[in-house]
Structure 1
Amino acid sequence: MVASKAKALGKLVALVVTAGVVLAAILFPYVGGMGVAANRVSDTIAAVPADLVAAQMPLGSTILDRNGQPIAYLYDQDREIATAEEIPKYMRDAIVAIEDHRFYQHNGLDAQRSLKAVGGFFAGESAGGGSTLTQQYVKNYLGFVLAKDDAERKQAMAHSPARKIREAKLAVEIERQMGKDDILVRYLNLVPFGGNVFGVKAAARTYFGTTPDKLTLAQSAFLAAMVNKPTTLLKDPVEAKKRRNLVIDRMLETGFLKEGKQVADEAKNDDIALAQPLNTRSNDCGNLDGGTTTGFFCGYVLDYLAKAGLSKDKIKRGGYVIKTTMDPAATEAAKRAAENQVSKDTKGIANVMAVVEPGADKHPVRALAANRDFGIDAGKGQTAYRLPSTITRFGAGSIYKIFTAAAALDRGVAGVNKSMPVPASYTSGVYKGEKNKPYTVTNDSSGGDTTMTLQGALAHSPNTAFVRLEEEAGLDRVVDMSVKLGMRDSMQTVNRGGEKPDADAKDATLRINQEQWVKDGKIGSFTLGVTVTSVLELANVGATIVSDGKWCPPTPIDQILDRDGKSVAINEPGCEQAVEPGLARSLGQAMSKDTTEGTAADPANKAGWTRQMIGKTGTTQIHQSAGFVGATTKLAGAVLVFSDSDTPKPICDGVKPYLCAKGNIYGGKVPARTWFEAMKPLHKGIPDTPLPPADPKYLN
């Protein structure tokens, strides 16, 4: 009993103090006699009025594909800004009538409401109802705009004399700087309407599937009722109708509904016909219709922008329109091909593809796809990992021979048509194998040619020839070439595959990246693709080669507009001439026979492929991954098939691929088949432009 009385007394004291402060603010709004506590609060918020007038409310962003269709919405608060012209008189009058019917008479504070709150306490009624719309605007702005987290929001909206003092002073100041109509419009754009729905425009869409300007009297009254009790009204239809009708009655009583009682009664008899289901806006990657296909691309957009200085938090509150390079046709073709070759429910096997458009000043990413859907339900074949754009834990196999060939051409130790020895077995005099033993390699098939041109070697992929070539070109130059042509993030990644001499280091900072590990450790198997890799970067390597050696970042961004429609610049890397055009053209010609006489010839023939292109297959030693890189002058793409289970196993290629004890997957099987299935329809109607000829100085 004593405790309850003490609590009641404390509440009374708080109310009296608050009422006194409010009255003082009304009578003497600019006098410093409001007390030390008020002055302290004022000192901490001296700059807030300007922010409140500017009213940059959190606004979600939209990510669009290249055709202007949304692929994702991202927001902290689902809000769309309605202009004054979009908000009907019914909506304005409804909110004023129920929340603050003397709104147009006071200066931001209402003495009658404040005293009524105190009187209600003595009468045993609720102590609420003392705040004007302007004060509510202040409270909501401090809580939903300026607060950085839930703790700050809770503090900003706490029931306390300090909060009332703050609201009172700011409300008066705001009304000195802004007109009533501006305050009301900002209020209706700011306040929550249940769940994560903020502002009248999002509320009209969510609950009635309409725009604010088309809201009826009954709908406006319902939304006005929701501001105070959104959860209750959504759960209880009877209470919802009762509260809505109270709003209509208040509009009539206070003179805002000039049409009279008949119109009021008609509105009160209307059913509350909420949209079924509610038109809630999806949030984040993968949640919009079709998001299981576009989610990988959306995720890459966020990763790319974060590196460029635009964080996800800024995107969710900044109101950006992000126009991407994603081609829905290319995405669908890549997704379909990936799934046709490896069904989404195939246990432990991922089939991943990236498509990049070549160019001299930009390499737009057109598609990122996988046999897996984007999502969190592994039982449905989903994954939230950014499979096509992040670094996979397996290598790309002999695809990395591209870098050895490029370095050899650059160094002058090989030519496109120059013959070189291809022994059945080769022991390196430079590199060491496991346990410091001599490093010996053999070719995948016995017999065959004893010599090949570089063009023939890239088509047939003998290991011995490329280890020899790596020695002659220099391992460091080969590694540098991989970075130049596009494996930039991959080679900076801390090694997670192959040999890991530093993996047991107690201090994680001692672990070194791929580039340094290969160079320092003289890892001769680098040309055989043992390091971790990125499918997207592999595709961009193809784009770099057919772009006359011009490397550009694989960008998913076409344009970014801010909430005012102005273009936003981001910090993207510029394009670079990775290798001189003659070398790039010569490397392209050296890679042009894989699909006609090499390891990818069979899938190319079965697909009816006739265009000239560059191509290279790759397979890791124990068949846990295999890939294919190919490019025409118009589109470049890469496919990687790998074991994505927690306990990776080799992959076997049967009627459908499956995990097995001893694999037989190759780059010329599932990866190449996926590539041609996806790329053939994408080239339909595009002129068949041949690869440019090699520079004579690189031929021999």
Structure 2
Amino acid sequence: MVPVADGKLFTLATIEPGTGLIRAMAANRTFKRPPPGPSATDTGQPPWRASGPDLVDPLVAGNAETPGGQAGAPFLMFTLAAALESGMTLDHTIDTKRRYVSKYVIDPNSPAACEGPHYCPANSGDPAYLSGRRTMWDGFRHAVVTYFIPLEEQLGAETVIAMAKRLGIGFRAPEDKMLSDNGKMWGAFTLGVSATTTLDLANAYATLAADGKRCDPLPVAKVDDAGGQAVEGIGPHCEQVLRPEVARAAMDAGRCPVGDRSAFGDRCGGGTVPATTVRATVGRPVAGQSGLGAKGQNFSLVVAAPQLVTAGMVGAAPGQYGAMAAAPLAAGVPNAAVGAIAAVQRDGLAPLPSRDFTAPPKELAVSGS
């Protein structure tokens, strides 16, 4: 799908909800030190980073030098969860337009600006969903930008950022960290513009799949000492960060983008979305979301079940800059990524008994209940 030497990086992580145990981490690179960089006397270029097939960077987990890439629409979930926690219901309606003039102020010369310095995002995708009355269910299924930006405005962008942090999203890139620390005007945050990793993305959705219990990612189940006794302190470290009923409601909306169905019937709306086939591939109840860059330069997908969550991302590799980083994905890569990520989720769940999501209370789904 994406060869080892390709300019695009494909990373994948699978994590167990409720324990944080990492079941898989993979990247389309060879874990090997790259050749030495150019001479220190070279100037006028970005800091040298290897971009070939050999890398030892933490590509899946990330660090300050390798903060990850843009996930896109999966970040809409954090606005949705924050709205549910505030008391809104899944059937909360917004009359959306093709383009929305927000209160957020950006550079007036930006292509996303209109009416002076206002941030004005627009919908794309299925023509039937470019405007009209939407709920959290069909708005999330079709990643309706002009549903989630007004929703974020009502909540406050800083509230949405705080929700993302609580669920497991970190901010490693310096600019992202600065924006997240004072995020009132970071309107684009809900669209997944910050750098993230597949491990963070999988863990955040695992928090929701575990009824709001966030666990630190854990690469080993246990450690024994020389005598064969388990070393104390090694094991899951978890914290309840969200009310279970709110997490369940968020997962109910999350079933819509991946070809599944709400516990409350036909709420997801019609049409097709990139990850429609995931439910059929996995063969079990699933929730999640996919994201495709506006210019087709990156793609992400997260697939959640009560016992396992898998996330994958395809985007610019470390060392890629400018036109190389912005180059669109090759034809067929997003569809191939959907199939590959869904297959990993299917195979990971295969030894486990099938489990459905617990339905949220009707009071969080339908207003006036």
Residue identity in the other structure for 1:632: A
Contact preservation (8 Å) 1:398, 1:620: no
Q: Cα distance, 1:635 vs. partner?
A: 0.7
Partner of 1:630: 303
8 Å CA contact 1:514–1:531 kept in 2: the answer is no
Give the whole-Å Cα distance in 1 for the aligned partners of 2:9 and 2:277.
Answer: 20
Q: Secondary structure of 1:654's match?
A: coil
- TM-superposed CA distance for 1:345, in Å, is 2.4
- Structure 1 residue 571, shift from structure 2 partner: 8.0
In the alignment, which residue of structure 1 is the partner of 2:315?
Answer: 642
Aligned residue number for residue 366 of structure 1: 23
Aligned to 1:400: 75
Asked if the contact 1:397/1:621 (under 8 Å) is kept, the reply is no
Aligned AA for 1:375?
A: K
Q: Does 1:516 align with 2:181?
A: yes
- The 2-side partners of 1:573 and 1:564 are apart by 22
3-state SS of paired residue (1:536): helix
Summarize deviations over 1:495-542 as a string: whole Å, max 9, x none.
356xxxxxxxxxxxxxx54521434xx110000111111210110112
Q: Which residue of 2 aligns with 1:580?
A: 243
The residue correspondences of 1:369-388 to structure 2 (distance < 5 A) are: 369-377=26-34, 381-388=53-60
Q: State the distance in 1 between where 2:236 and 2:173 align.
A: 22
Q: Is the 8 Å Cα contact of residues 495 and 531 (structure 1) preserved in structure 2?
A: no
Shift of 1:381: 2.2
Counterpart of 1:620 (choices 286, 293, 305) is 293
| CA distance 1:463–1:670, shift in 2 (3 Å) | farther
Letter in 2 for 1:374: F
For the 8 Å contact 2:283–2:346, the answer to whether it is kept is no
Corresponding residue for 2:344? 678
Question: Counterparts of 1:529 and 1:570 in 2: how far apart (Å)?
Answer: 35
TM-score (norm 2): 0.80
Note if contact 2:257-2:276 (Cα within 8 Å) is conserved in structure 1: no
Contact 2:282-2:345 within 8 A present in 1 as well: no
Pairs within 5 Å for 1:145-544: 341-346=1-6, 348-359=7-18, 362-377=19-34, 381-391=53-63, 392-412=67-87, 414-429=88-103, 431-435=104-108, 437-445=117-125, 446-448=127-129, 449-487=131-169, 490-491=170-171, 493-496=172-175, 513-519=178-184, 522-544=185-207
Determine if contact 1:643/1:651 at 8 Å carries over to the other structure: no
Q: Percent identity?
A: 26
Please say if residues 528 and 620 of structure 1, whose CA atoms lie closer than 8 Å, have aligned partners that are also in contact. Answer: no
- Where does residue 653 of structure 1 map in the other structure? 330
Alpha-carbon spacing, 1:646–1:640, altered in 2? closer, same or farther (3 Å): same
Secondary structure in 2 matching 1:675: helix
One-letter identity of the residue aligned with 1:484: R
**Aligned partner of residue 558 in structure 1, secondary structure:** coil
Q: Aligned letter for 1:342?
A: V
What does the per-residue CA deviation read over 1:271-300, in whole Å, with 9 as the maximum and x for residues that have no partner?
A: xxxxxxxxxxxxxxxxxxxxxxxxxxxxxx
AA at the equivalent of 2:281: G
Contact 1:420-1:454 at 8 Å conserved across structures: no
Counterpart residue identity of residue 495, structure 1: P
Following the alignment from structure 2 to structure 1, what is the Cα–Cα distance between the partners of residues 52 and 188?
37
> Which one has more relative contact order, counting CA pairs under 8 Å at least 6 apart?
2
What per-residue deviation string (whole Å, max 9, x for no partner) do you get for residues 217-247 of structure 1?
xxxxxxxxxxxxxxxxxxxxxxxxxxxxxxx
Q: Which runs of 5+ in 2 are unaligned?
A: 35-49, 109-115, 260-269
SS in 1 for 2:360: coil
Any idea what the Cα deviations from partners look like across 1:53-99, whole Å, max 9, x if unmatched? xxxxxxxxxxxxxxxxxxxxxxxxxxxxxxxxxxxxxxxxxxxxxxx
Letter in 1 for 2:361: D
Q: Are residue 595 (structure 1) and residue 248 (structure 2) matched?
A: no
Q: Given the superposition, is the C-alpha separation of residues 695 and 653 from structure 1 closer, same or farther in structure 2, using an over 3 Å criterion?
A: farther
Query: Where does residue 364 of structure 2 map in the other structure?
Result: 698
Deviation at 1:614, TM superposition (A): 0.8
Find 1:604's aligned residue among 270, 274, 278.
278
Distance 2:236 2:57 in 1: 25
Q: Shift of residue 637 of structure 1?
A: 1.1
Instruction: Output aligned runs, 1:25-64, within 5 Å.
Output: none
- Provide, for residues 337-370 of structure 1, a one-character-per-residue CA deviation record: whole Å limited to 9, x for no partner: xxxx212122x101100000112xx221111101
Task: Mark the CA change 1:355 to 1:514 in structure 2 (over 3 Å): closer, same or farther.
Answer: farther
Aligned-pair distance for 1:589?
0.4
- Aligned partner of 2:2: which letter? V
1:388 alignment partner AA: V
Q: Taking structure 1 as reference, are residues 552 and 467 closer, same or farther at Cα in structure 2, changes over 3 Å only?
A: same
Unpaired stretches in structure 1, ≥5 consecutive residues: 1-340, 498-511, 658-665
CA shift for structure 1 position 620: 3.5
User: TM-score scaled by structure 1?
Assistant: 0.44
Per-residue deviation at 1:694? 1.5
The one-letter amino acid paired with 2:3 is S
2:105, 2:128 → 1: CA distance? 25
Corresponding residue for 2:262? none
Distance 1:366 1:461 in 2: 29
In 2 relative to 1, CA 387–600 (structure 1 residues): closer, same or farther, beyond 3 Å?
same
Counterpart CA distance in 2 for 1:395 and 1:379 is 18
The structure with the larger Rg is: 1
| Structure 1 counterpart SS, 2:120 | strand
Aligned mates of 2:254, 2:225 — CA distance in 1:
44
Aligned counterparts of 1:475 and 1:677: Cα–Cα separation in 2: 35
Residues 433 and 442 (structure 1), Cα distance of their counterparts in 2 relative to 1, 3 Å cut: same
- In the other structure, the counterpart of 1:79 is none
Change (3 A) 1:683 1:494: closer
Distance 1:612 1:573 in 2: 25
Shift of 1:569: 3.4
SS at match of 2:12: strand
Change (3 A) 1:367 1:514: farther
Q: Give the structure 2 partner of residue 547 of structure 1.
A: 210
Structure 1 equivalent of residue 111 of structure 2: none
Asked whether the equivalents of residues 96 and 147 of structure 2 are also in contact (C-alpha less than 8 Å), the reply is yes
Task: Tell me if structure 2 keeps the 8 A contact 1:407–1:477.
Answer: yes
Return closer, same or farther for 1:574/1:693 CA change in 2, 3 Å cut-off: same
Total equivalences in the alignment: 324
How far residue 622 of structure 1 moved from its aligned partner, in angstroms, is 3.8
Residue of structure 2 equivalent to 1:205: none
Change (3 A) 1:559 1:601: closer
